[in-house]
Amino acid sequence: MNILKSTLITVTLMAFFGLCPESAFSVNKIIYGEDNRFDLIDSPLPLFNDLARSTAAMVKKERLSSSEYDVVSPVMRMTKNIKPLKKALNLCNDEKFSDQPHLSHCSGFLVGKDILVTAGHCVSNRMANACEDFYWVFDYKLNDVNDPFDIHFPEENVYRCKEVLSSKFEPWNPGKTDYAIVKLDRPVLGREPLKLRESGEVQIGEPLVLIGHPWGLPTKVSHNAEVLKNDGLTWFMANLDSFEGNSGSAVFNELTGEVEGILVRGKPDSVGQYLPEVGFCKTLNYCHEDGTNCKTHDRIDGEHVTKVSVFRDDLKKYLGL
């Protein structure tokens, strides 16, 4: 095979494996500098665990089933067709968390006794039956590092979407508004609504923490990030380590613990490469901390976060404030 033909095939396959969206609704994310994601079981601060209790995963109903053996304390379990991340996304060997389940679709967080906030594109009209076809699941987290599929969900942690109260997804608009407010089928017990920034703007350089479900994995915390830019009307830019599945995740100010916004979009997650022993597979897309020198690029300049100020007044109507 001549060099030109080989190069064209490689570029085509890399585009397919690394640059094309994995679904019609995916919004890509990326790693900046070192990979700063970790499991709750490895959390260095109790604060992260406390905040994570009020975050949830959006899981398609067909991916969970009731267990006939847990009559006294009913639980739901992952169906047998759930794959580890490596197989689900064709990751290269030894990628971080590749043996953990690829279960959920988006992320969200509790802001009222029965109200969640998530990304608008997660429940938009393009996403048919988003309310009817998905559960919102709390405490989807790793329990045993040696058995990553040993995860079950007490039924009190599994909620249905009663109604999408408000959904804004305007990718064609220069403001790129993207958020949704979801009412659950019942009040959430034993978990506190997260505190939102009440006024002002987060400043460039302020430290951020992301909590959610990158690539549909059990809860991951990503810290050591900061605001890079904040001159957009509806969003600010950060160097958060995030992926598809983090859409809708809460972005916290690490100093105050307040929610600064919703993770909604970013650079591509991965890039394809050819390895002689395995063929083509996906490896993570890395950038420098400032968003430069990425393995692959697109028009997005960093991870975009919908500001709390964009949906705060809309939310107050449903909270009775």
> Tell me, what's the pLDDT at 115?
98
The stretches in the chain having pLDDT less than 50 are 1-26
- The counts of H helices and E strands in the chain are 6, 20
Summarize pLDDT for 15-71 with one digit per residue, the tens: 333 333 333 344 555 678 788 899 999 998 899 999 999 999 999 999 999 876 555
The CA-based diameter of the chain, rounded to the nearest angstrom, is 68
**pTM score of the predicted model:** 0.86
Q: Is 277 exposed, middle or buried (0-12, 13-18, 19+ CB in 10 A)?
A: exposed
Q: Are 140 and 59 in contact (CB under 8 A)?
A: yes
What angle (nearest 5°) sits at the alpha carbon of residue 206, between those of residues 205 and 209? 120
Rounded Cα distance between 199 and 310, Å, is: 11
Closest CA to 77 of 85, 88, 65: 65
> Tell me, what's the pLDDT at 270?
66
Q: Is 293 exposed, middle or buried (0-12, 13-18, 19+ CB in 10 A)?
A: exposed
> Tell me, what's the pLDDT at 17?
33
Rounded Cα distance between 107 and 101, Å, is: 15
Rounded Cα distance between 232 and 193, Å, is: 27
> Tell me, what's the pLDDT at 246?
95
Closest CA to 283 of 124, 93, 143, 152: 93
- Taking the alpha carbons of 196, 181, 100, 97 in that order, is the dihedral positive or negative? negative
Token pair for residue 283?
Answer: 């490896």
Identify the structural domains of the chain with CATH numbers, from first to last: 45-196+311-319 (2.40.10.10)
Q: Are 145 and 131 in contact (CB under 8 A)?
A: no
CA 135 to chain centre: 15
